[in-house]
Amino acid sequence: MASIEYFEVECPEKTGGRYYQRIADVVLLDHNLIRVIRKIHFFIDPRVPIFVAVGITRKMPGPVRLRDFSDVSVQDDKVTISIGDETYLAKLLESLWDIFGKERVEQPDRFTVVITAGTDETKDLEDLVVDDPSLSIYKDLIYALQVIQPEGFKVRRQYYGDGRFYLVASEDTLPEDIDDLVREKFALLEESP
């Protein structure tokens, strides 16, 4: 299992910082997120009160397209999809029903889907994104950070995408300079080994 290259908890109270180091370590391990995170920095100041977690992820899996797990053949007004891996079948059917309607999508067996549609409607069908695993990973990451944040910190701002994520939380309103604080903590990640 890969370990996090940089893992830091910054807190004016040394004892509190050590406790949060342990809490964060346990939560990230329990949620199986150690393999996803490359660098993470926590900043906790109970005097303000403020909690900031910023991080950089390892390379995330890309979107799964129809062509990645099936073959598509078009013949007149019928498109036949031969499924090679059933893992994404339920999500595929949902996407096809949204696009074409249930009445135009048939599933004669578990490895075949037939769509009644013209070639103009289905010309880019092989490029259809059926699943994006990185979205669920980022959501799991933000959820884990919410578990780590101090109890009662209900005012939050969060972001994830492009290999970066952050969560800022407080009991009160967030300080006006929160964007500067987030940038400052990301700069620490970039300076770290």
Same domain flag for 74 and 101: yes
Domain that holds residue 126: 66-131
The answer to whether the peptide bond before residue 46 is cis (omega within 30 degrees of 0) is no
CA distance 14 to 187: 22
Res 1: pLDDT: 45
| Tens-digit pLDDT profile for residues 16-59 | 899 999 999 999 999 989 989 999 999 999 998 999 999 999 98
User: pLDDT above 70 covers what percent of the chain?
Assistant: 98
Same domain flag for 31 and 121: no
- Domain boundary (82, 106, 131) is at 131
- Domain boundary (111, 131, 151) is at 131
Number of domains forming the structure of the chain: 2
Q: What is 50-87 written as a DSSP string?
A: EEEEEEEE-PPP-PEEGGGTEEEEEETTEEEEEES-GG
Give the pTM. 0.76
Strand bridging mode 37-45 / 6-10? parallel
Same domain flag for 152 and 121: no
3-state secondary structure of 146: helix
Same domain flag for 53 and 93: no
| Tens-digit pLDDT profile for residues 57-69 | 998 888 999 999 9
